[in-house]
């Protein structure tokens, strides 16, 4: 492809919350809208990844469509011709390339993956799926099929990106006699990824009732999490019940050690007001009424959800599916071409066979 490709994933099975919205979705949408034209933007839904751990499979398809709608409501311009939006499972080359890459991957490499160790340790299931163990190989296929140079990843997935680079370089060396210019485009290293995306690693919206931990869907009660699907009034009440502290003084800087609850509320308020945290702190530092701060945050949360949910209701499933189908047709041709080259390299297709 003439333009370098930026590839990123849209989660498919989670009930998204404001931590996802401000910490991941908005930066992703801004990146896509800003770079589309200069780069090709591939935003894919990793729906095959979504059940490496147990989920409700009956809800998966509906949630996939709804989560894409949420990204559109957040400002993603799906009419941009340089933006491709597609589902992993609708392009069979993802699965086919994964098997081939599996056969060039060591068991020890996968065993050392920190995320597998962490996730498998937290699962209450007796059986840990091979899919969870094998997750980085499928992720490598997601990247390598499209020659993606840039892939924004969080700290928990830097190992996976480095593996994608390793397996690409390994196969480029092994099959250099067949494809001397390289079988795969090797993604940029993590340091260059972070520099390119100017990643802000500090934004972590915390659980309202346990502010020492980040806001997460794993909170089984949901009382400490503001979901994008929450009733606005119910969400405001969650803010009013948020844990604070006994110091009775709003600080002049965020302090997640001494005052995590108050710091979290100030961070949320700044995000909802679209202001720098320092500006919010100037307005509130020195005040002693936590109730006043909670009320201000609760009102902003209520207004945000009302406005966001109104935008979401205007986006139809059909316009999302139309974009998905068009992108899938275009990306299937790209992925199949890469897969065919790999099949030729490993001996599954004749070297003289033209691209199908």
Catalytic residue (one of 3, 199, 214, 237): 214
Half-sphere exposure for 341 (CA within 13 Å, toward CB): 22
Q: Considering the entire predicted model, what is its pTM? A: 0.89
User: Which residue in 26, 248, 256 sits closest to 152, CA to CA?
Assistant: 26
User: Which residue in 166, 187, 169 sits closest to 42, CA to CA?
Assistant: 187
Q: How far apart are the first and last CA of the chain?
A: 17
Catalytic residue (one of 62, 117, 192, 217): 217
Share the mean pLDDT of the chain: 92
pLDDT (tens digit per residue) in 241-270: 999 999 999 999 999 999 999 999 999 999
pLDDT at 116: 87
pLDDT at 355: 66
214 included as an active-site residue: yes
Task: Name the stretches of the chain with pLDDT < 50.
Answer: 201
128: region left, alpha or beta (phi > 0 left; psi from -120 to 50 alpha) = beta
258 included as an active-site residue: no
Cβ burial, residue 78 (10 Å; 0-12/13-18/19+): buried
| Secondary element (H or E) of residue 9 | strand 5-9
Catalytic residue (one of 3, 62, 117, 119): 119
pLDDT at 238: 97
217 included as an active-site residue: yes
pLDDT at 121: 82
pLDDT at 3: 86
DSSP helix/strand/coil, 241: coil
Within 8 A by CB and 6+ apart from 6, the residues are 31, 32, 35, 39, 40, 41, 42, 148, 149, 150, 151, 152
pLDDT at 356: 55
User: Which residue in 46, 32, 48, 45 sits closest to 150, CA to CA?
Assistant: 32
């Amino acid at each position: 492809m003439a333009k370098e490709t930026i590839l990123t994933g849209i989660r498919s099975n989670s009930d998204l919350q404001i931590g996802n919205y401000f910490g991941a979705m908005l930066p992703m949408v801004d990146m896509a809208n800003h770079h589309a034209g200069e780069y090709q933007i591939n935003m894919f839904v990793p729906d095959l990844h979504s059940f490496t751990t147990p989920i409700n499979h009956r809800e998966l398809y509906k949630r996939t469509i709804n989560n894409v709608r949420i990204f559109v409501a957040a400002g993603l311009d799906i009419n941009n011709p340089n933006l491709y939006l597609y589902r992993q499972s609708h392009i069979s080359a993802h699965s086919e390339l994964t098997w081939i890459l599996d056969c060039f991957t060591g068991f020890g490499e996968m065993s050392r993956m920190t995320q597998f160790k962490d996730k498998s340790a937290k699962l209450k299931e007796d059986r840990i799926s091979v899919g969870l163990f094998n997750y980085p190989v499928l992720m490598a296929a997601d990247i390598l099929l499209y020659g993606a140079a840039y892939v924004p990843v969080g700290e928990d997935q830097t190992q996976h990106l480095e593996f994608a680079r390793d397996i690409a370089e390994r196969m480029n060396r092994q099959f250099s006699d067949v494809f001397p210019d390289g079988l795969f485009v090797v993604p940029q290293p993590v340091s260059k990824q972070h520099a390119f995306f100017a990643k802000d690693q500090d934004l972590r919206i915390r659980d309202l009732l346990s502010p020492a931990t980040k806001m997460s869907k794993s909170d089984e009660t949901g009382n400490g999490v503001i979901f994008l699907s929450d009733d606005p009034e119910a969400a405001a009440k969650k803010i009013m019940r948020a844990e604070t502290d006994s110091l009775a003084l709003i600080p002049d800087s965020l302090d997640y050690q001494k005052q995590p609850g108050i710091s979290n509320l100030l961070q949320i308020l700044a995000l909802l007001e679209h202001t720098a945290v320092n500006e919010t702190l100037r307005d509130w530092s020195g005040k002693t009424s936590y109730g006043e701060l909670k009320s201000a945050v609760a009102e902003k949360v209520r207004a945000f959800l009302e406005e966001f949910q109104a935008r979401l209701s205007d986006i139809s499933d059909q316009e999302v599916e139309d974009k998905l189908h068009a992108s899938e047709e275009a990306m299937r041709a790209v992925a199949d071409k890469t897969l065919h080259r790999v099949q030729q390299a490993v001996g599954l297709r004749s070297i003289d066979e033209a691209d199908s």
